C-alpha cells in the first residue's frame, strides 16, 4: 500500500475513535436520528464475526441485570454496551437533574454532594448511569447513595440539547435479577413521547413576544418574583444546563446569576403555582461570572411515569 493511501486509511480509522467526552459535547448539535431505547434484551449480541469471551459476557450480563447498569466492571465490548467512563465536571448537571426530578416526585429535599461513579452506553447518543452521593437535611444530614440514568438524546425539535431522566432512585439493596420482572423494568425506563401534552411538543418556541405578559394569553405566563428565585435553586440548575448546551467549558463561566424567569403553562392555576407544573416553558435570562448575559428557553415535560423528565433547551449567548 502506498504511504499516502496508508495515511488516509489510518486517518479514517482515527476519526471513528471518538471518546465519550467528545460525544457529550457534540450530541447537542448532531442531526436528528431515530430514537431507540434500551431494555434488557438489547444487551445481547449475536454475531459469529466478533464475540466477547463467553465467561466475560455472562459476567457482564449478570451485572447489568442485577444492578440495572449502574455497577458493571470494565470489559471489552465489540458490540458496544455499558461501561465505566470515569467522572468529570460535565456529569454534575446530569446528576443534579436526576436528583431534582426525584425531589419533585417524592416531595423530598435531597441535596447533591458529589458524583461517585458514571457508566455510559451509546443508545441514540448516550445513556449515563450515574451514582452520586446526596445529603438528606431532613434526616440529620445523613448521606444517601443515589442513582439516576440520564439520556443525552438525539435532538428533534430544533433544540440544542435534549436530556431525559429515565430512572431516579435511592440506591436499592442489590436484588438478583432472577427475582425481578424484566418486562416491568423495560416499561418503567422507556420514555413515552406520546404521553406528553401536545401543547408542549413540536418545534421549540421563540423568545417571548413584547406583549406576552399583557396580551390575550397573559394568564399562561408568570414572571417569577425575586423571592421565588431564591426559594427554587433548581432554576439555577436549568440555567447551567442551558449554558452547557453551548459551552463545553461551562465550569469556567460559573457561578451564574439568574436575573429573570418567565414561566408559561396552559394550566389554570395560581401564577405562583406555575413553577410547580409538570409541563412548563421557562424563558430565562442569566449572567455568567465573566459578565456575559444570556437568554435560554427550557421546555420541561413529563410523561406521567415517576423518575421521567425531559428538558429541551436552546440558549443564546450574550457578549
Residues of the chain above pLDDT 90, percent? 66
| pLDDT, the chain, mean | 84
- Grid coordinates standing for 40? 434488557
pLDDT of the residue at 215: 95
pLDDT over 70 (residue 44): no
pLDDT of the residue at 167: 96
pLDDT of the residue at 5: 40
Best CA proximity match to 204, nearest among 133, 125, 310, 113: 310
Longest dimension (CA), the chain: 73
pLDDT over 90 (residue 68): yes
pLDDT of the residue at 224: 96
Pairing state of beta strands 257-264 and 280-287?
antiparallel
Cα separation, 239 vs 313, in Å, equals: 10
CB 163 within 8 A of CB 153: yes
Cα separation, 280 vs 298, in Å, equals: 8
pLDDT of the residue at 164: 98
- What Å distances lie between residue 24 and 20, 209, 253, CA to CA? 6, 33, 18
pLDDT tens for 201-218 read 999 999 999 999 999 999
pLDDT over 60 (residue 275): yes
**Mind giving me the DSSP string for 43-87?**
G----SSS---HHHHHHHHHHHHHHTTSS------TT---EE---
Count of other CB atoms within 10 angstroms of residue 151: 25
What average pLDDT does range 179-201 have in this prediction? 81
Cell 467512563, located at residue: 85
pLDDT of the residue at 32: 39
| Strand ranges (E), 187-302 | 221-223, 257-264, 280-287, 293-301
Cα separation, 44 vs 172, in Å, equals: 25
Q: Please, which pLDDT band fits residue 80 given cuts at 50, 70 and 90? A: confident
pLDDT of the residue at 249: 86
pLDDT of the residue at 50: 64
Amino acid at each position: 500500500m502506498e504511504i499516502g493511501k496508508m495515511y488516509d486509511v489510518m486517518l479514517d480509522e482515527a476519526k471513528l475513535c471518538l471518546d465519550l467526552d467528545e460525544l457529550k459535547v457534540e450530541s447537542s448539535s448532531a442531526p436528528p436520528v431515530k430514537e431507540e431505547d434500551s431494555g434488557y434484551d438489547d444487551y445481547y449480541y449475536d454475531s459469529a464475526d466478533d464475540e466477547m469471551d463467553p465467561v466475560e459476557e455472562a459476567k457482564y450480563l449478570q451485572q447489568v441485570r442485577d444492578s440495572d447498569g449502574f455497577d458493571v466492571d470494565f470489559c471489552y465490548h465489540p458490540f458496544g454496551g455499558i461501561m465505566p467512563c470515569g467522572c468529570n465536571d460535565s456529569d454534575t448537571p446530569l446528576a443534579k437533574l436526576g436528583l431534582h426530578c426525584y425531589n419533585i416526585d417524592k416531595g423530598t429535599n435531597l441535596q447533591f454532594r458529589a458524583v461517585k461513579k458514571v457508566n455510559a452506553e451509546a443508545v441514540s447518543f448516550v445513556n449515563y448511569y450515574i451514582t452520586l452521593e446526596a445529603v438528606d437535611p431532613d434526616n440529620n444530614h445523613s448521606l444517601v447513595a443515589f442513582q439516576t440514568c440520564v439520556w443525552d438524546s438525539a435532538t428533534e425539535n430544533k433544540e440544542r440539547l435534549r436530556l431525559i431522566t429515565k430512572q431516579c432512585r435511592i440506591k436499592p439493596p442489590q436484588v438478583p435479577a432472577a427475582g425481578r420482572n424484566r418486562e416491568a423494568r423495560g416499561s418503567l425506563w422507556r420514555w413515552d413521547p406520546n404521553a406528553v401534552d401536545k401543547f408542549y411538543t413540536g418545534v421549540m418556541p421563540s423568545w417571548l413576544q413584547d406583549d406576552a405578559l399583557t396580551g390575550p394569553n397573559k394568564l399562561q405566563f408568570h414572571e417569577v418574583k425575586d423571592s421565588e428565585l431564591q426559594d427554587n435553586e433548581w432554576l439555577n440548575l436549568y440555567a447551567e444546563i442551558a449554558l452547557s448546551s453551548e459551552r463545553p467549558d461551562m465550569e469556567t463561566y460559573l457561578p451564574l446569576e439568574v436575573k429573570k424567569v418567565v414561566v408559561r403553562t396552559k394550566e389554570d392555576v395560581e401564577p405562583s403555582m406555575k413553577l410547580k407544573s409538570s409541563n412548563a416553558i421557562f424563558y430565562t435570562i442569566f449572567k455568567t461570572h465573566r459578565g456575559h448575559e444570556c437568554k435560554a428557553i427550557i421546555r420541561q415535560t413529563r410523561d406521567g411515569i415517576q423518575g421521567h423528565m425531559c428538558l429541551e433547551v436552546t440558549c443564546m449567548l450574550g457578549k
